[in-house]
Structure 1
Amino acid sequence: MTDESRGVEAAGPPWSVDLLADLHSGVLDDGEATRLRVRVEADPEAQAILEALDATAADLAAWGSASAPPLPDAVAARIDAALVHEAQEMFGTAPVVDIAMARRRRNRRLGWLSGAVAVAAATVAAVVILVPKGTTTGGNPVAEAPPQAGQAAPLAVRGDHPEAAVGHLSTGVKDYGPLGGPERLSSCLQAAGLAANANPIGVSPGTVDGRQAVLVLLTTGWLAEFRLIAFTPSCGQGGSGVLLDKVVGK
């Protein structure tokens, strides 16, 4: 049993996986986390466990943004047959069945199931990855026009509060917006002095202090630290196009 009067001083080394997981997820108080972080940085075994937790968080984020695999033809045929049987039971024998309508009903059901799986994966990733505290801004609230139906609210970031974007980007969203795809983003990263093959945790269009941007969240190699970079839509074309480049979470 851990000696609560001594805190982390009595916990190791070797450090328990539960304690390192608490440090990684940010549930320890600030003083205890600072003391523990200084000690585990000199422990290769503890660092290996923290790196494994980082890799798990990244895998979960990627899983949450992955597209659902195509439905096998044999399964689709069985679903179509079941829908036809359902229509016969409802309307009697020898009905005129609209197969296209039946398939639309099937696709709606499959779409709901895929969406539920994606939401569950994103929720697990958000629990594992630390979202920095203190993102509340001062001043009076300003009313904003609600987004149109079926349209997600844009990701608006203030230059003095960049950590507000981490919660959204850490779910693994990969929306390249005006950049079009990962190839163009690689050019922007290279123009900004980063490795072209860097693998972002999340990418999303938005604004920085009202200016249109594409926000990119990268790991730093340090526990609970992330690098947030905001590019202009014209980045990589004769200039880096960097609007914002800050480390958050430290």
Structure 2
Amino acid sequence: MTDESRGIEAAGPPWSVDLLADLHAGALDAAEAARLWPRVHADPEARAIVAALEATTAGLADLRADVPPMPAEYATRLDAVLAEEARRAFPPPQQPGLAPVVSLDAARRRRTKRLGWISGVVAVAAAAVAAVAIATPSGPAPSPGGNVAAPAPGQSAAQPPLNLRGDQAASAAGQLQGTFDYGPLGTADRLHACLSAAGFADTAKPIGVRPGSIDGQPAVLTLLTTGQLAKFRLIAFAPTCGAGDAGVLLDKVIG
């Protein structure tokens, strides 16, 4: 069994997974990495662990391909937290030259590695939840007296009307996202006809649809992405919309 308590000084078979992960992630200094890589390449067990790390990194990169970079303000705040943590762990020496020096660059590298692993784990967990959600019927359970018809493919179970005011539509994103109830339109094709009539490209794909009203007018509320982080486009279509009749009651960027 691999001894994960071994440090760099004892590097060698049996190899520490933590040490190999740091080496693979570039978290070790150049001199130490240059000393260890030939020994790793010469050891079958170490090579197998590094190969597994490579495969995992490639898989996580694919999962995170569409994830936007961390906003600069959060990266700055995280760097400040790391610096404060280092200051508390290693207070200034009472006598010059006695306390160890912590490299903020090394801390950043470790932070980047941890964020990569955390993002990958979250993405894998989200994929697992999505798979369970797809496999589990989303409609109400059949009653003992008869069967309840399941929603059509690509459509959620019927939702209660979502009644909004045009000047308070910002709250709609959380209530619409992931719900696909076409209400009086009935199908995704009918909604697509409304989107086309309103000038949207054929590639426009809503991320949420729900019947309701806007300022008291019956509507089919439709949520689309904008290409900007945490910003969405809310379109309220009249229930009579279709080819040649956009019936747009509201078109607003929210978030």
* TM range, smaller chain: 0.3 to 0.5
Higher RCO by CA contacts (8 Å cutoff, separation 6 or greater): 1
User: Bigger radius of gyration, 1 or 2?
Assistant: 2
